[in-house]
A = this chain, B = another copy of it.
Amino acid sequence: MESTEDYVELIDDLIRTQGEARLVDLAERLGVSQPTAGKTVARLQRDGFVTSEPYRSIFLTERGKSLADAARERHDLVYRFLLAIGVSQDTAERDSEGVEHHVSEETLQAFQRIINSSDKA
């Protein structure tokens, strides 16, 4: 599931920045209705990525946390890569979202090389 990563990544982010992850914020940030966000969170819980009790905020399990970490790392790498090749910040934010789920390790490594060489320059 592609959206699994988006959700855990965002939940992690919300916990860091807001102290907790609420459905209403998830829905807003993902541009989705609250019931939709709720349904997805239920799936995440079923699959062991989060824990949540009715009317309470959402927590990541160990499994969810490590998925979130990996996703953020990849996301970040793609984002920095896009900046390095001269894409605007706005576009880099939007496109890195789309791209991060579809690139292999090998391609990520190539991205990293580009970042490195543009750092040196």
A residues neighboring B (CB under 8 Å): 82, 85-88, 91, 94-95, 97-99, 101-104, 106-107, 110-111, 113-114
Contacts and interface: CB of A to CB of B under 8 A. Distances in A.
Copy tally for this chain in the complex stands at 2
Given A91-B104, A104-B91, A110 B82 contact: yes
A106 B85 contact: no
Contacts of A101: 98
Q: Is the interface of A mostly helix, strand, loop or mixed?
A: helix
A73 to B, nearest CB: 18
20 contacts: A85-B110, A85-B111, A85-B113, A85-B114, A86-B110, A86-B113, A87-B106, A91-B104, A91-B106, A94-B104, A95-B103, A95-B104, A95-B106, A95-B107, A98-B101, A98-B102, A98-B103, A99-B99, A99-B103, A102-B102
